[in-house]
Each structure stands twice: as C-alpha cells, then as structure tokens.
Structure 1
C-alpha cells in the first residue's frame, strides 16, 4: 500500500492552563450526595453495593484537585509519539511507537470504554523494544476510538465497529503497514475480531482478551467450570450491573450532559467500572495507581468526550455479526475477573484457528493496567504463536 505520509500530521496534546484551573475549581465546588445507606467494613466489594462509596470518592476528588499532575501524562504521550490523520471526514488521533528492531511487526492496539490510550502507555516501550532479545518486537499503533480522547467526535451516526475496523486498515496503510497484527479488549476486542474476520488480506493474526462466541450455542459440550463462566456472563448482561451499557446504548445524549458538565459525575461513572471490573478485593487502587486512573478520567474531561464516547454503545451494542468467522491465527487470553468470559469450545465456533489459549490466574478487565508485566509477556507469547502459525 502507498504511504501518503502528508496525510499524517504530528500532534501534541497540551491543555490550556485555564481548563486545568476550571477543573480544580469545579472539583472544589462539587455538590456531593449523602453517604450510601449500606455500611460494610473495608475491605470488601459489598461496600460498593450502591455504587462508589462517598468516602472513596472524596479521597480521589481531593487528590485530583491538589496532587494529580496532568502535565506528566501529556509529557508521556509526547515521548511515545502522537499523530492525527483524517479518515472519512473524522480526525483520528493515535500513538505510534516504532521499534528499533529490523524484524519488528506492525501491531494495532485498540482500547474500549471506559478506557483510552492511557491503558497502553506503560506497555508500549517493552512491546516495541523488549529487554529480552528473543521476544518479538512490534511497531505499536494505538488509536483513540472516534469520539474518544483527541480523535474527532463524529457529527453523524454510522461510526460502529465495522466502520472503525475499516478505518484502522486505512490508518495502518497510511503508516506503511499493509499487513499487521491486532490486539484489543472490551470494544477493542470486538473491533479486533472484525479486523480478523473482514480483512484477512491485511491482518496477520489477532490477540484478544474478550472473545465473543456466536449466539445460541449449547452448554452440553462445556465443563462445569465453563458453564459457570456462561452463567456469570449471562447474569452480568441480564442484570442491573449492565445498566450503564443499556443507558449508553439507549440514551447516550442524556447521560452525556452529566459526563461533560460534572467532573465528579464523570469520575464516579468511570471509577465504578474500574472498581467492579478489576481483580481486587475492594478498591481498584489495589492494582492500578490513582494517577493512571485519573489520566484516563482527565482525558475524557478535557476533551469533553463523555457523550461522544458513550455513543459507541448506541452505534454498536449487540451489533457483532453472528455469522462472522475469523480464519486468521488467533491467540486468546481470558482473565479471571473479567466481566464476560467465553469458554474455548464456544470461542472455536467463531475463531477457527486458535493457536494459543490462556486463562491467567490473576487480572481483570484492564490487564495492561492491573498486571502490566504479565500482560506484555502474554501478548508477546500470544502474537509469537500467531506469527509462527502464519508462516
């Protein structure tokens, strides 16, 4: 594929001082509700039965206002390398970390919601230039989904998972990567699945932490442990814990007003998910630093993307083609505290060439933040198996 490099522009994130001052002022003037009416001793997930406990939120808000340093996150983005390009009239922001290794393979990494490119900033260096000379190296590209971060907010409907996957192929081609690997989790995992299924001429293989099976499969073939996985996943999507997704799929504009106008509302909406979806006993800060979570939340706040990011649910909720099959080599890792876990016999009905399957002992929905060293090693080994199978 040709390399129209003039269409790719260097980018530097830099929030205005006035915007940071406004954020601190809003945090200082926040109106908070009374404490929750469930009282359980810490640590324990039951403390979160009505959502984010008031005391926990106050601690994070105080640190966000007085101790958190957004400029260090901006500096890290600049160190990695940021760019933008326009695809189908939507500007796409992305990180691009080229490897020094001549044998490196291009890799596109896609985040989900309520994540962002902040999920990957601590792992791209080791993926691009691993300390172990025997480990595979990658030219890492990490785009911000349309409506997220420094990507544009689509002005019209239509930017769902199929359109995003096609845009990623175009993006990688503009960077000179006509063939590449793909990784993702959450929405990024769904988009990665579409990449592998729709674009096998460009995608060498994939790695996902959120495999999704075709609907309507029988549990007869499953072990007792695998049946438990399916029951837990069904309970999640069928119960109140999935209310956030139903809200964002049905009325993203309505919830968007709160997410764009109130930093405390945005923080609580996102913190609730990090607390529930991580492999912890009580608080997400057992495994994820408060700084890194606030990098993610502040990115949403400064770019005013609470509503536009929520719209991915409106565009794509339950939209993965049930007939889609992935024939490129696939590596799959299912973390124990993720919110949905697909048994391998079911996954094999969609992913026809699973070359590596792992069920790690620890980790949840955000493994690159929770267990970054293990995540890097698992991704390296998974993609090495994918590349070996494609030779």
Structure 2
C-alpha cells in the first residue's frame, strides 16, 4: 500500500515573475525553421499559425488572469505513493442524499485543465437549469508527471499504478464507493479502477475503448471490428509518430520541448487541432487563451518529458492486463470528432456496456470543447447508480 497522508493542503500556485520573464525572452528569441510554401498543417504544425500564437504568448497573453481563473477551483495537494499529487476537490453545492462522488482522469497533452469548464456544471447543476439531484462531488487529480503533481524520479507510473493511487485518494477523501470517468490515458486509468476495485467503482464512463488489443483471434472478430483494426493501423501510420517517440525515446524529444516554448507549443497545438472537432481550424474549439493556458501549465511545471514517459510505462503493460473485460457497468460517449472510434461490437467484447451514445459535436477533448454536452452524458449515464453509491 502507498503512504496516504490524511493531511490535505490547500494549494494555489502562483508563477514567479522571473519564470514568466524568462518565458517571454525565449519566445521573442525563437529561431524559426523554414517551411515549404503553402505547407499549412500538412507536414505538422503550420508555422504561420504558430508564429501568430507565439507572438501573442510573448506580448498579449495574460497568464496571471488565467492562473486566477483556475484558482477559483478548490485545489489541494496530498501524498500518494511517496509523491505529491495535486487535485481539484469540488463538492456538490446543494448536497442531497443522491450526490455521487466522481473521479475524472485526464489524458495527454493536458492535465486537470481538461475538466476545468465542466466542474461547476457537475457540482451545481441547479445553477445551470438542470435537476439539482444530478449533482456530483468531483475529484480531478493531475496524474504523477503532469500538471502540478510531482514528477516521478524513478520509473514512470503506468495506468494500473495510477488507478491504484486514485483508489487511495478517494479513500483519503472519505469516499468508499464512487464513479469513475475519463478519456485518452484517463480512459485507461478509469478502466483499471473498475477492473481492480469493482467493489468500490459503481460504474465507469469512458470516451473511448482503447486501441485494439491483438490478443484476440482475428477469426473471432466481427467485420466491423476487423475494419476498425485496419482503420487504427492506418491512423497510426499517418498520425501516430508522436506516440512512437513517447513510447520509445521520450527523453530525446523532451530536451528540445523543455528548452523551447515555441517547440512545446508546436508539439501540443498540432494535437489540439487534429483531435478536436474543429474542422481544421483549431480556434473553433479553443481560444488562444485556452490553448496557451494548457501549454503554459506544461511549460511552468516542466512536465512535458515526464508526461511523455507514461507512454513508455503503458507500453510495458502485459497483454493479459490489456485483454481483461470490465464487468462493472460501463458507459461510452463516442464524440463525433474523436479519433479512431471503436464499434459497439468491440466495446461489448471488452466491457459490460449498459450505455452508448454518439454526441453530434465534440472531439477528443470534449469536456473542454463541449462541457455542457459532456456533463449531460455523465448525468445520463450515472443517474441509475446514485442510490447504490450512497448505501
């Protein structure tokens, strides 16, 4: 068991002036690469757009205002597994007997930022025209190596280990039974919470079903599953270079991304555009301030390298773990603009599916892109599991 401290410290970080001045100096001194004419986003990040973003980051972006906005969320730190873990813990504004504790797990390239818009919608539904009985107590931790949580000095933690830490965190907060939800890597963390703690997780909601696990005999696959396997392989060939680097040589990329804020922005904004439901125009899903808040969190905490190393850890998870079936009631919201969406046949092969919906808007970062839609998905899925959670 990890050492859980019962002491929860209120936490409101504030960037030092020197760190912000250093950031602006580096941005203004960016050494720009050449690019073919009219390359746009075809070869990676559009340099013309990146120049615009970097200029605004250096001389227009108000980090203090964004930091103050994030500080309105109730944030804490505690120790789990010998690491300092930062988390949001927002209680239901008008608690009733049906309040359900819910732990939300983020992915890459983000942090607790992914859920910053949706927290008030979940904790105070009455203020947003929704039945107050649908309120949640919400817990949003930064995974170790992300955001304001500590970076592991030793081997990176995989999704199984992080799920174990979240179970301990929920115990430390006094929640015996709770719901779990997540997307991207957070989907895997939520899955292992349900697999390893089925007596505590009343239901689990995910935005994806994970990538195909090739431990299944291809002859057993339905046609739509085989088609999906091929789609994922094609996507990996054209879009998966970042993942191959993260899994195999994360430290090589980390040198440049930790040293150059423009390089860091290029690495992250390309994914925000490619994975969101923006029709190729990233600012249809995120404002410049929202993009730069996410990137600045990575910059100030120095966590791009440690976040990438989690891919290396997850790549070493044994196939037997990947092929386990989730028996806890499972819900899936497959947003229209997300990547490589699995067919129902695969979801039912790997989980006890009791809810499946395909919202018409939103992508990989749906809690941030479409917070109202995402909140409604969680309310609809978890509604039947509220009373049992409080027994």
TM-score, normalising length from structure 1? 0.91
In structure 1, which of residues 118, 122, 137 is the aligned counterpart of residue 113 of structure 2? 118
Sort the Cα spacing of 1:322 and 1:361 in 2 relative to 1 into closer, same or farther, 3 A.
Answer: same
**1:236 offset after TM fit, Å?**
1.4
- The residue number in structure 2 matching 1:380 is 379
Q: Summarize deviations over 1:53-74 as a string: whole Å, max 9, x none.
A: 1110011111111221212222
Count of residue pairs the alignment pairs up: 378
Distance 2:174 2:249 in 1: 39
Q: Counterpart of 1:328 in 2: which secondary structure? A: strand
- The residue number in structure 2 matching 1:31 is 31
The residue correspondences of 1:160-199 to structure 2 (distance < 5 A) are 160-199=158-197
Q: Counterpart of 1:48 in 2: which secondary structure? A: coil
Distance 2:154 2:5 in 1: 27
- The residue number in structure 2 matching 1:304 is 302
Distance 2:191 2:343 in 1: 16
Sort the Cα spacing of 1:158 and 1:15 in 2 relative to 1 into closer, same or farther, 3 A.
Answer: closer
The residue correspondences of 1:214-363 to structure 2 (distance < 5 A) are 214-215=213-214, 216=216, 218=218, 222=222, 229-237=228-236, 239-317=237-315, 319=317, 321-352=321-352, 354-363=353-362
Q: Summarize deviations over 1:245-298 as a string: whole Å, max 9, x none.
A: 110111111111111111000000001111111112222111212211111100
Distance 1:385 1:222 in 2: 31
Distance 2:333 2:77 in 1: 31
Q: Counterpart of 2:134 in 1: which secondary structure? A: coil
**1:240 offset after TM fit, Å?**
3.6
Is 2:121–2:372's contact at 8 Å kept on the other side of the alignment? no
- The residue number in structure 2 matching 1:44 is none
**1:317 offset after TM fit, Å?**
2.6
Sort the Cα spacing of 1:115 and 1:280 in 2 relative to 1 into closer, same or farther, 3 A.
Answer: same
TM-score, normalising length from structure 2? 0.91
Q: Counterpart of 2:299 in 1: which secondary structure? A: helix
Distance 1:219 1:149 in 2: 43
Structure 1, unmatched stretches of 5+, are: 41-46
Distance 1:88 1:230 in 2: 36
Sort the Cα spacing of 1:214 and 1:347 in 2 relative to 1 into closer, same or farther, 3 A.
Answer: farther
Is 1:99–1:139's contact at 8 Å kept on the other side of the alignment? yes
